[in-house]
Structure 1
Amino acid sequence: MVGNSSLTARGETFFLNLRFMLIVTVFAGNAIEPLIRSLSGMHSLYLWIFSFHMPLFVLVTGYFAGKSLTGAAGRKVLLQIGLQYLIFQTLYSALDVSVFHADNIHHSFFAPYLLLWFLASHACWRLLMLGMGRWSTTAQIIFAVSAGVAVGYLQLDGVWFSISRTFVYLPFFVVGYHFSFEAFARIYNKYVKTAAAAASVLLLLLLSTFGSELPLGWLYGSMTYMQLDAPEWYAGVYRLGMYGLQLAASLAFLGWVPYRLSRMTDWGRRTLYVFLLHGFAVRLAAVSGIYAYLGNAAGAALVLLCAVSFTVLLAQPAVKRLLHPLVEPSVDWMISLQRAALRRSL
């Protein structure tokens, strides 16, 4: 029993470390986006980040969802996700109209604002897992992959209700939910981790050489085949190929993630704050015009340094104490209202 407890704690440490490393790549990827057309190095780094960071973030989310998918805990999480979505969809949309003025944004509660797709999809992944609860793990994965391929054939804009990304990334949520850290730790010993990390570097080099041929839209997962200019009946095969690339890139990146407890582990507990708040910093930087002075190697390095620094800053306990009511709003009042309504109906 002690051994299992130790392994569980080690697995949580690993995934918290991974979660922090991924939020760094999320912040960095969004921060360097204005530079990818003028700097080939930033374009390659951007491709490399998008080859694994969303699939792995969904996998980590599925892993931690295993503790709170059903029962009262599951209902509370769903209510909180819904409230977070309403709050930040309102904030980002209001600031976009008044300050950001971003292009090609649908200002509607039915079209998640940029990074908020993750909240909408997270709620859907949990509901889908509840619906698949009695299926075998194999059946769940087969359905998830099939749905991820099939959703691309819909004749609509994939951003509405975050329908495209919900199903495109569903396989990673399912895998994360059933992830066995014990089996993973047996395989990813010191030598395998070193080889995986080397493969991750090799992938970055390959993307630097051949990445210009890879359409970014396929890595976003937010567009249907129609939007990706792939009307062919066999376009689903391209999605399967993208799954292969994302799986390989994800397995390679895992070689960089330490097993040991560190300060980074603690920061990994507050990645939600970084995720929901970093968009304000990125948008403000974009509208400030500062990127006009950063179109060189030194400027790109400064952007990356700022992204890492702000990630660490937003993951501090003081930020959580200050902004907890906004980022993690209490839903106890909603639960109380539900109970009161139920009592009146009886």
Structure 2
Amino acid sequence: MTQITEQSARAVSGASAQAPAAARTAPAAKSRDAFFDNAKYLAIVLVAVAHAWEPLRSGSRAVSAVYIVVYTFHMPAFIIISGHFSRNFDFRPDRVRRLITGIAVPYIVFEVAYSLFHRWTTDDSDMPISLIDPWYLTWFLLALFIWRMTAPIWRLVRWPLPLALAIAALATTSPQIGNDLDLQRILQFLPFFVLGMVLKREHFLLVRRRAVRIIAVPVFALALVFAYWAVTRMNMAWFFHRDSAEELGVPWWTGVLMTFALFGCSLVLTACFFAWVPGRRLWVTALGAGTLCGYLLHGFVVQSAGTWGWYDPAWMHRPVGAVVVSVAAAVLVTLLCTPPFQRIFRFALEPEMAWAFKKDPAKQAPGERAAKSS
């Protein structure tokens, strides 16, 4: 009887010890929304595929049309999600620390890495390493750092989205901005970040209704038809949001009109994209946490493909080549988002850097705080 009692006591003790652990892990497991992770994964696949299409655009009007449609919404979708998860950002020490280790440090590491990689693959020893002139994919990290720093402002002002649109429109009229910090992109994409901040969870649920899913199909079809028509009639640089109107050879007021027109088109296609994003957990859902890894690493392969002649075979510029390239890019970025790659590159993407920061007073033991105060 005594033995049974002792076993029961140990069982109760073990259960009580495991309960807090379960309580700690349960919220963490539930904190990630499957819809957003699925959306991030699908968006990063489209980013990689669109980058892989770039060498094929000159020889195929169809590829160029699909490229335009994808470029209209894939980065806006990603930026809207980033803004939505930045809506509570403030300058609390732990959040500033995550901003530095999760965005600023990866920007510095990959800006240097991409510059050195470009020097090596192109024998361009004069390629400068500049932290104020982002190279290739790194512009997004710099933009996200600046956007998130401004998050408290957008929570404060009365009409955040109209203000952000006005800033974006004014940016297109200002060729003097130049390339420093890639400010044109930062300012022209700003409305999507602010939109993500003001959107609530129920707004995302609205676009995922059955009626919206049905409407999304003809909308995408019409977008493809229009894009096919526009390939030979429109400057595709508008979809990159990196140049002013004057730099694109048109009057300043064209930039203002294009800001609102492109924002409207991007918003419609992004809503159609979100409408078809699954809301349940799938095998790709876990990859949503590794999209930054996939985003930053796939660029090295894309750059290598163009430099080392992977697109030289004639069949690569036929429909079968576009299909092969699309599948290869999707598989590649999927692999790069997996946990093994996240662990390998954690030193660059999520460094702890405890040595670089003061200890948070709120996390210090009472005795340690008392010793410091004395």
Q: Is the structural similarity TM-score above 0.5? A: yes
Say whether the 8 Å CA contact 2:287–2:337 is kept in structure 1.
Answer: yes
**Alignment correspondent of 1:265:** 285
Spell out the pairing of 1:268-283 with structure 2 (5 A cutoff): 268-283=288-303
**Alignment correspondent of 2:185:** 165
Whole-angstrom CA distance in 1 between matches of 2:352 and 2:69: 37
Structural RMSD (CA): 2.6
Task: Identify which range, 254-263 or 151-160, moves more after superposition.
Answer: 151-160
**Alignment correspondent of 1:58:** 79
Say whether the 8 Å CA contact 1:140–1:174 is kept in structure 2.
Answer: yes
Whole-angstrom CA distance in 1 between matches of 2:349 and 2:239: 28
| Structure 2 residue 60 is the aligned partner of structure 1 residue 39 | yes
Spell out the pairing of 1:261-340 with structure 2 (5 A cutoff): 261-293=281-313, 294-336=316-358
Give how far 1:188 is off: 3.0
Please list the CA deviations of residues 258-304 of structure 1 after superposition, one character each: whole Å capped at 9, or x if unmatched. Answer: 11111121111110100111110101111110101111111111100
Please list the CA deviations of residues 212-253 of structure 1 after superposition, one character each: whole Å capped at 9, or x if unmatched. Answer: 323111100011112111234453122221212211221222
Say whether the 8 Å CA contact 1:100–1:283 is kept in structure 2.
Answer: no
Give how far 1:100 is off: 4.0
Spell out the pairing of 1:1-346 with structure 2 (5 A cutoff): 12-66=33-87, 68-80=89-101, 81-100=103-122, 107-136=129-158, 139-156=159-176, 158-293=178-313, 294-336=316-358
Say whether the 8 Å CA contact 2:207–2:272 is kept in structure 1.
Answer: no
Say whether the 8 Å CA contact 2:53–2:322 is kept in structure 1.
Answer: yes
Please list the CA deviations of residues 20-76 of structure 1 after superposition, one character each: whole Å capped at 9, or x if unmatched. Answer: 010001000111101000112211111111010111111011112235444123202
Equivalent position amino acid for 1:282 in 2:
V
Identity of aligned residues (%): 25
Whole-angstrom CA distance in 1 between matches of 2:307 and 2:210: 45
SS of 1:52's equivalent in the other structure is helix
Say whether the 8 Å CA contact 1:152–1:223 is kept in structure 2.
Answer: yes
SS of 1:213's equivalent in the other structure is coil
SS of 1:242's equivalent in the other structure is helix
Equivalent position amino acid for 1:42 in 2:
V
Give how far 1:157 is off: 5.7
* Structure 1 residues not aligned, in runs of 5+: none
Whole-angstrom CA distance in 2 between matches of 1:31 and 1:87: 23
The two structures have a TM-score, normalised by structure 2, of 0.82
Whole-angstrom CA distance in 2 between matches of 1:185 and 1:158: 39
Whole-angstrom CA distance in 2 between matches of 1:64 and 1:270: 15
Whole-angstrom CA distance in 1 between matches of 2:196 and 2:32: 12
Say whether the 8 Å CA contact 2:38–2:284 is kept in structure 1.
Answer: yes
Give how far 1:9 is off: 5.8
Residues 199 and 10 of structure 1: is their aligned pair in 2 closer, same or farther, counting only changes over 3 Å? Answer: farther
Whole-angstrom CA distance in 2 between matches of 1:164 and 1:51: 17
Give how far 1:88 is off: 0.6
Whole-angstrom CA distance in 2 between matches of 1:211 and 1:290: 25
Whole-angstrom CA distance in 2 between matches of 1:10 and 1:214: 43
Whole-angstrom CA distance in 1 between matches of 2:335 and 2:57: 25
* Structure 2 residues not aligned, in runs of 5+: 1-25, 362-371
Say whether the 8 Å CA contact 2:111–2:138 is kept in structure 1.
Answer: yes
SS of 1:45's equivalent in the other structure is helix
